[in-house]
Amino acid sequence: MRPTAEGLRSPVTHLLDGEGADPWITLPPLGDHQRLGALKPAASTLLEVMVGGEALPLLVSQPYGLGNAAVLATSTTWRWRMRTPAEDNRHTLFWRQLLRQLGESAQQPRDLRFSVEDDVIAVRLVERDERFAPRRDVRAEVTVTGPGADGDRLALDAADASGLLEGRYRTPGAGVYRLDLRVAGGDETSTRFVRVGAERPEQFQPTQNRALLERIAAVTGGRYWQLAEVGGIPAALTFASSGVKRTERFPLWDMPAVFLLLLALKSGEWLLRRRWGRI
């Protein structure tokens, strides 16, 4: 067994963290393999197995409908568990990652999306039943609260026969709007917040917070500079105690100062012994 080039990019085949030996080489061999037919155009081979010198697909994944489907062409992955040490968790890790990948694209019973164009909020809703089939008999309403909008109601209309409901709300002005979705006959309310009229939403506070900057400078041993004072930054950096430092280590046993100190101590001991008549 071995991952393909496409399989190496998939989290399913990542059995060990860090650098080391290939985790697939040391796995026990499989006991059987089912030959697959011709793969469909959208299918991707993640694992392949060598059979008689020929590389055959072992694990194949493919988008299907609103999710993903996979085929594992063997029934003996249990050998990875039974023929490895107890602390080897590659078998468990493989199945967890495979199931996680298949479940990542699972659709939710309620697919609610918003988009903003200029001052118009577009709402799209698809409600699904217990079999995840779109419901076509749904009636839904959105309550909009925000600047200039105090509980405005927007009814969603059927866009086509697939169960898609759409609605468009023109906002009175820029700001953050709260949208509460209620489906007729249901108790659950879905709430979303949408910003309208902001070219760069990440700049939610573009003004300078001087108090915060001065506090950061005081804590980190720096200094707050105003725009008129930036000319003094080079001189301040030249005489600053912080910056790039180089640490050099020297052994003490062969330093001249240590040698002279030992020589002085030994000479002092000899003089004392000579004075006390111990020599």
User: For position 164, which CATH number holds?
Assistant: 2.60.40.10
Same domain, yes or no: 15 and 75: yes
Same domain, yes or no: 90 and 6: yes
Same domain, yes or no: 129 and 97: no
The pLDDT score that the predictor gives to residue 203 is: 54
Cβ contacts of residue 152 below 8 Å, gap of 6+?
143, 144, 145, 169
Number of domain units in the chain: 2
Read off the pTM: 0.46
The pLDDT score that the predictor gives to residue 201 is: 52
Structural domain including 146 reads 110-196
Domain annotation covers residue 223: no
Same domain, yes or no: 161 and 93: no
Domain annotation covers residue 257: no
Please write the tens of the pLDDT for every residue from 161-215.
677 889 999 998 888 899 999 888 777 888 888 888 865 555 556 678 888 899 9
Domain annotation covers residue 235: no
Which tokens belong to 212?
A: 């915060």
Same domain, yes or no: 138 and 99: no
Give the rounded percent of residues in the chain with a pLDDT score beyond 90. Answer: 26
The lowest-confidence range among 42-46, 91-95, 275-279 is: 275-279
Would you say residue 239 has pLDDT above 70? no
Which tokens belong to 170?
A: 């023109």
The mean pLDDT of the chain is 84
Looking at per-residue confidence, does 172 or 133 come out higher? 172
Q: Where a domain ends, among 56, 83, 104?
A: 104
